[in-house]
Amino acid sequence: MKQSNRSFPSMTADFGLKTDPRSDLPLYRQIATQLAERIREGTLPPGFRLPPTRKLAAELGTHRNTIVAAFEQLTASGSLVSVVGRGTFVADAPAPRPVPALEPTSFPWSSVLSRATEAVSLQLADRLRRRVAHAPGRDLVNLQRMEPSPDLQPADDLRRCIAHAFKTEGPAALGYAPRAGLPRLRAAISEDLARRGVPVPAEGLLVTTGSQQALDLIARVLIEPGDTMLVQNATYTGAIHVLAAAGARLVGVADDEEGPEMEALERLGRAGAKGLYVMPTGQNPTGRTISAARREALVGWSRRFGIPLIEDDFAADLDLDDTAAPPALRALDSQVLHIGTFSKRLSPALRIGYVAFPGALQDHLTALKHAMDLGSSLLLQHALAEFLERGLLRGHLRRILPEYRARRDALERGLHKHLPPGLQWSRAQRGVVTWIELPAEIDAEEAFSRALDLGVLVSPDALFTVHGQQRGLRLTFCAEPPRRIALGTQRLGEALHACLRVRQRGGTALTVV
Ligand code: PMP
């Protein structure tokens, strides 16, 4: 590298470096970003010698350590090199290597694709048409998103726990995790389950990459293509997809006031099935909770027919009215496959879920988990274990539950005020969703499209049903603050009124005013 020895220029006058004390970005990052920009655009060429840190600090009116930190960041990224006794220089830029584009060619992929993959991607594409993840420039109230808004996620605490994992474990935190999950995390989850009355020892738990993976593993362990899997008439979209990918034939079971209808289950049980997948608490998408008596009945049914129960407790801890849910199915029977997650009560980015398995399935599930991804992130497992061991989950729930309650209440007030008379919705006592039943005159797809046009995003029933047995719209109340939720209900009310007006005037969209 050729190095320039000319006298040091003024970085503020000659190169326009500035700092903004009001910015959220730390000062050293502000300086590093600006220097990197000058290097990228060639204003500071390779070999250029930067002023000594003390001089630059004086010029920018900041502490010398700030400049040292900025230089360190740029040295670590390879933009600067420091030569002992001589100073810090802009590094030689690696010459960009031209990568010639490949000729477009064709390949008979359709002849080698598996049937299950094709079916799932078709279904997925069809369902995802109704998902509008990003609409840049549009003011859309999002009553579709099923994750806590960023202000309800414990970013600072998680950052500290990740930093602590690095400090205490060092580079060891960057390796692969034990197959079944980090023992201290499994112990912490076991304790958390015990707090909620579910007795599962740490050894009875498998840590998974989100509870989605738990579902996937269970599907793979149980299902032969063509096998029947029972689900609630309206069920979690992601479950439909993984079960279908495993080749299951999904059969919907209707709910009555207390939960899945026992009469229907008696009939279906006789025909045999590989499992019944249920979300007993705050069900996605209906928000309903299965009664204590029906939970007992389900466990008895499972035993009589030898059909496993798969319990998805995704809404655990989200009790909005301070009334605990009835005992989990797994608290009633150790043969229940109980799935849990930290995505809703904490953060989806952890991608940490778990399954409490019956002893007989331990080896199968653990081996398959290893085969699928060689384990979930060790670093994040350490961080979550730290979070749980410090007792931070309780404090976090104390903070978020009143906010969820306020959001749920804003939603209900808005629905009361704006929905056409006669429309019914479920009151959400737990979890993060509310379901509006639609009468025959309103088509969910039309309601979805009109609502989208008016600036509110909701989920139509087709996302959740296998054979269209349940008519309605799902609204989530976790992703937007109360004020926005109120606005969303106003827009949705307008959309539903418009759907009804169209019907009353003979079904042509042109008559909408
Ligand atoms: N179960 C239900 C009912 C869900 O709604 C979701 C995600 N929305 C999951 C499982 C999977 O979530 P994760 O993989 O983030 O744990």
As given in the structure block, the two tokens for residue 177 are: 């995790």
Nearest to 385 by CA among 374, 375, 377: 377
Q: Give the strand order in the sheet containing 249-253.
A: 205-209, 352-356, 337-341, 309-312, 276-278, 228-232, 249-253
Question: Using a 6 Å cutoff on CB, does residue 236 contact ligand 1?
Answer: yes
Instruction: For ligand 1, say whether the CB of 376 is within 6 Å of any of its atoms.
Output: no
CA of 211 to the centre of ligand 1 (A): 6
Angle at 464 between CA 322 and CA 486, to 5 degrees: 50
507 pLDDT more than 60: no
Q: Which residue bears the tokens 């996302």?
A: 463
Q: What is the mean pLDDT of residues 182-198?
A: 97
Q: Which atom of ligand 1 is nearest to the CA of 214?
A: 14
The CA distance from 468 to 252, in Å, is 10
SS3 content of the chain, % helix, strand, coil (to 5): 45, 15, 40
Mutate to test the pocket of ligand 1, among 236, 242, 278, 290 (most ligand atoms within 8 A of CB): 236
**Whole-number pLDDT of residue 512:** 30
Rounded-to-integer distance, Cα 312 and Cα 318, Å: 14
Calpha distance 315→280 (Å, rounded): 9
pLDDT interval class at 41 (50, 70, 90):
confident
pLDDT for position 426: 86
Mutation pick for ligand 1 pocket among 131, 147, 215, 343 (CB with most ligand atoms within 8 Å): 343
* Distance, CA of 130 to CA of 473 (rounded, Å): 12
- Whether 212 is in the pocket of ligand 1, judged by its Cβ within 6 Å, is yes
Q: Which of 108-122, 376-390, 467-481 has the lowest mean pLDDT?
A: 108-122
Q: What tokens were used for 172?
A: 């060891």
Looking from the CA of 149 toward its CB, the CA atoms found within 13 Å total 18
Share of the chain above pLDDT 70, in %: 95
Pairing of strands 424-425, 433-437: antiparallel
Q: Is 343 in the pocket of ligand 1 (CB under 6 A)?
A: yes
And the tokens for 279? 């979300």
Where is average pLDDT lowest: 100-114, 199-213, 215-229, 380-394?
100-114
Distance CA 315, CA 293 (A): 20
The ligand 1 atom at the shortest distance from the C-alpha of residue 351 is: 15
Per-residue pLDDT at 399 exceeds 90: yes
Ligand 1: centre distance to CA 451 (Å): 25
The C-alpha atoms of residue 241 and residue 243 are separated, in whole angstroms, by 6
- Please tell me whether residue 99 adopts helix, strand or coil conformation: coil
Termini Cα distance of the chain: 71
Which residue of 284, 311, 318 sits with most ligand 1 atoms within 8 Å of its CB, as the best mutation to test the pocket? 284
Q: Which of 211, 217, 231 to mutate to test the pocket of ligand 1 (most atoms within 8 A of CB)?
A: 211
Orientation angle between helical segments 362-373 and 210-222, nearest 10 degrees: 120
Chain mean position to CA 214: 14
The answer to which of 34-43, 191-200, 300-309, 504-513 has the lowest mean pLDDT is 504-513
Can you tell me the distance from the alpha carbon of 96 to that of 425, in angstroms, rounded to the nearest whole number?
60
Angle at 349 between CA 340 and CA 406, to 5 degrees: 75
Give the atom of ligand 1 at the shortest distance from the alpha carbon of 211.
Answer: 16
Burial class (CB in 10 A: 0-12, 13-18, 19+), 202: middle
User: Given this model, what pLDDT does residue 113 score?
Assistant: 86
- Predicted pLDDT at 10: 84
Helical axes 444-453 vs 482-504, angle rounded to 10°: 120
Measured distance CA(176)–CA(23) in Å, rounded: 38
314 lines ligand 1 (CB under 6 A): yes
**Is the per-residue pLDDT at 384 higher than 50?**
yes
> Which of 43, 45, 63, 44 is CA-nearest to residue 53?
63
pTM over 0.75: yes
| DSSP-derived secondary structure letter, 234 | B
Residues 368 and 172: their CA atoms lie apart, in Å, by: 25
Q: Is the pLDDT of residue 146 over 70?
A: yes
Q: What is the percent of the chain where pLDDT is above 90? A: 81
Handedness of CA 223, 224, 230, 233 (dihedral sign): positive
Q: Are the beta carbons of 246 and 219 closer than 8 angstroms?
A: yes
Our answer on whether the CB atom of 280 is closer than 6 Å to any ligand 1 atom is no
State residue 377's pLDDT score. 97
Using the mean position of ligand 1's atoms as its centre, give its distance from the Cα of residue 287 in Å: 14
